[in-house]
Structure 1
Amino acid sequence: MAAAPSPGYPVRSLPPSTPGRVILQGSSPWTTELFDCMDDPLNAVTTLLLPCVTFGQIAEIVDEGRSTCNTNGVMYGCVAAMIGMPCLISCGYRSRLRAKFDLVETPAPDWAVHFILEPCALCQEYRELRNRGFDPEIGWHANVAKSQGVALTPPKNQAMIG
């Protein structure tokens, strides 16, 4: 038997789902906390000095290879240089990452997390991808090949003649 709704709170149904719509609230917790940046010190330093690199790596994985790390990194850098607010594009990728893994929107809305704590947000998203089996440094296509067990053939041993 379902519990009756609390008095004073209207019961509303959710709007019908539309294709391509981002889920605003997930049910799964993040595997890493927002302020755990030093769990991966190399990524923390990279993100602090070159956030465009970390953003590009995250975006390529979230886009499933439809855009490259370089393209996304340049786009991030241009927005940062021109208007000083790269969070305008990076917060959208946080929303897409959350939708992909059904993650809760915490500790604040995606736009606020990126506006106030951009480096921490990027580090958290990078670590989340790593914790879920992706290596953002190698890109989408190499991750797919790795997950399918496809290995690059090493060069054959060569001998000097003569």
Structure 2
Amino acid sequence: MADGNAASRYVKLRKEQAPVEEDITPGELNQPIDVPQLNVRKCHECMQVLPETYEPPSDENWTTGIFGCAEDPESCRTGLFCPCVLFGRNIEAVREEIPWTQPCVCHAICVEGGMALAAVTALFSGYIDPQTTVVICEGLFFAWWMCGIYSGLFRQELQKKYHLKNAPCDHCMVHCCLHWCALCQEHREMKNHLSDTEASSSTTMDPPPVQEMNTEEKRDASSSSSSSPSSAKSQHNDLEMVPL
């Protein structure tokens, strides 16, 4: 037997040395763990892991051409008389977190404001110093080029979203040379893709026709159901008791 006076291997804690009890809510320890190695892109066909630098091929054609503005009269009128509104709607469709009013105001100040300044400069060209006119023209060309780059970035996002080609040329060059036509084409493209998505989601298969029984079939079914218990009783009545 062990000696009762032997020193104990356990240390008795005082109240101030006791561990602090933490308040743990139910389910707190069962939270999902984010594993970065599992958050990878995979191929939908073979389910293999794709590299980080992989980009899907941009080989889809635009549903309408760059000069197909007459195919959608509503967007054509909006792009002709209020291009800033059409530009804002396109940006909002590509980036939902950006309200359409912000790019609309930016477009109105830069593009429409620049056009108004160019018209005033041309109207009062005889009253303005030629050097000042040259400086204004250079500033307007630079502002137009920057607006083309800014608008082309959103066109590039639209192309990546729907895997579209660079047609008829680079996205920034399209907006620099054919800005109004590009706005209408982008609006038609998003509108066509949205209509295709709604059509595919609303398509349902026809339900199978309801099978109705004729009166003769009902009689046969009722007669068969009524004869089944009688046949079962007859089978039970045919049993014989055999003495052992």
Task: Check whether TM > 0.5.
Answer: yes
1:113 aligns with one of 137, 154, 174: 174
Aligned position for 1:100? 161
Which consecutive residues of structure 2, in runs of 5 or more, have no partner in the other structure? 1-51, 115-139, 196-200, 202-244
1:66 and 2:102 aligned: no
TM-score, scaled relative to structure 2: 0.44
Structure 1 CA distance for aligned equivalents of residues 100 and 56 of structure 2:
25
User: Higher relative contact order at CA 8 Å, sep ≥6: structure 1 or structure 2?
Assistant: 1
Aligned residue for 1:46? 78
Distance 2:56 2:168 in 1: 13
Name the CA shift for 1:105/1:25 in 2 (closer, same or farther; >3 Å). farther
2: CA distance, partners of 1:127 / 1:25? 22
> 83-92 or 121-130: which moved more?
83-92
Contact conserved, 2:56 with 2:163, CA < 8 A, in 1? no
With normalisation by structure 1, the TM-score equals 0.65
Deviation sequence 1:78-123 (CA, Å, 0-9, x none): 2222555232321111001001111000111011111110011000
Contact 1:24 1:95 in 2 (8 A): no
Q: Which has the larger radius of gyration?
A: 2
Question: Counterpart in 1 of 2:53?
Answer: 17
Q: Matches of 2:159 and 2:93 in 1, distance apart?
A: 13
1:131 shift after superposition: 0.2
SS at match of 1:98: helix
Structure 1: runs of 5+ lacking an equivalent: 1-15, 135-146, 148-162
Q: 1:55 maps to which residue? A: 87
Q: CA deviation at 1:24?
A: 10
Instruction: Give % identity.
Output: 31
Aligned residue type for 2:106:
M
Mapped pair 1:78 → 2:139: no
1:27 aligns with 2:63: no
8 Å Cα contact 2:66-2:181 kept in structure 1: yes
CA RMSD, 1 decimal: 2.5
Distance in 1 (CA, whole Å) between partners of 2:192 and 2:106 is 26
CA shift for structure 1 position 27: 1.0
Letter in structure 2 aligned against 1:119:
W
Task: Judge conservation of contact 1:26–1:98 (CA < 8 Å) in 2.
Answer: yes
